[in-house]
Structure 1
Amino acid sequence: MRPEPNIAKERFVQGLALAVLLLMGAWVIAGPSGLVAWGENQRLLEQREAKLAELRLERERIRNRVDLLNPQNVDPDLAGELLRGNLNVARPDEMVMLVP
């Protein structure tokens, strides 16, 4: 038969091993890269992809305006719109209608 101190030592080692396994399991579930964080990361990824699509549309809109303002081939309608909007000028025979 085994002496009592060895049984106590084995139980302590088994308890410690169980505690370490439980801690590792908790880390897998609730850690920074665990299952709980996985869902949060997916939600953030979807939000950032939506924002990226929004920014791409804005970039295309700005690129179009830049192309229309090319100094060698300016779009007359856009130039007139910018002059009237920025300088608040209008000819006497024009009527200004503000659209919200």
Structure 2
Amino acid sequence: MLARLQPFMFTFALAGLITYFVFHGLTGELGWMLSAQRKEELKQRNAELIHVHQQRMDLEARARLLRDGSLSRDLLEERARSLLGFSDPKDYVIRLKP
């Protein structure tokens, strides 16, 4: 019986390997069926990147205003009041947990 199947062993092994790689190509971690999920995650990460980039640009602009050469009195007063906890009697103070 084994002698009759021996010529086909290579074909069976090759078919098994092909089936294995096709199965994992479709359903694996980087498979074709999960490509929509990866695209959605990429969109979310790009939106997050844009948001973080905007925050960075805002912080750089604020830091530029606090440098010695171009000191903004309003921004300096705002930061001092925030850090020292002082406020005008007409101001509303909302404290957030750090």
Is the TM value for this pair above 0.5? yes
Shorter-chain TM-score category?
Answer: 0.7 to 0.9
- Which ranges in structure 2 are unaligned for 5 or more consecutive residues? none
- Which protein shows a greater Rg? 1
What is the match of residue 58 of structure 2? Answer: 61
- Structure 1, unmatched stretches of 5+, are none
The answer to whether the Cα contact below 8 Å between 2:26 and 2:32 also exists between their aligned partners in 1 is yes
RMSD: 2.6
Give the one of 70, 95, 98 matched to 2:93: 98
Q: TM-score when scaled to structure 2?
A: 0.73
Partner of 1:23: 20
Question: How many positions carry a matched residue from both structures?
Answer: 95
The one-letter code of the counterpart of 1:95 is K
* Cα distance in 2, alignment partners of residues 21 and 89 from structure 1: 72
Query: Could you tell me which of 51, 76, 79 is aligned with 1:79?
Result: 76
The amino acid of 2:77's aligned partner reads: G
Q: Is the partner of 1:72 in helix, strand or coil?
A: coil
Match of 1:88 among 63, 82, 85: 85
- Alpha-carbon deviation of 1:6? 5.2
Aligned-pair identity (%): 17
SS at 1:27 equivalent: helix
- TM-score, normalised to structure 1's length? 0.72
Query: Which of these residues, 26, 30, 33, is aligned with residue 36 of structure 1?
Result: 33
Contact between 2:87 and 2:93, CA under 8 Å: does it hold in 1?
no
What is the CA-CA distance between 1:60 and the residue it aligns to? 0.8
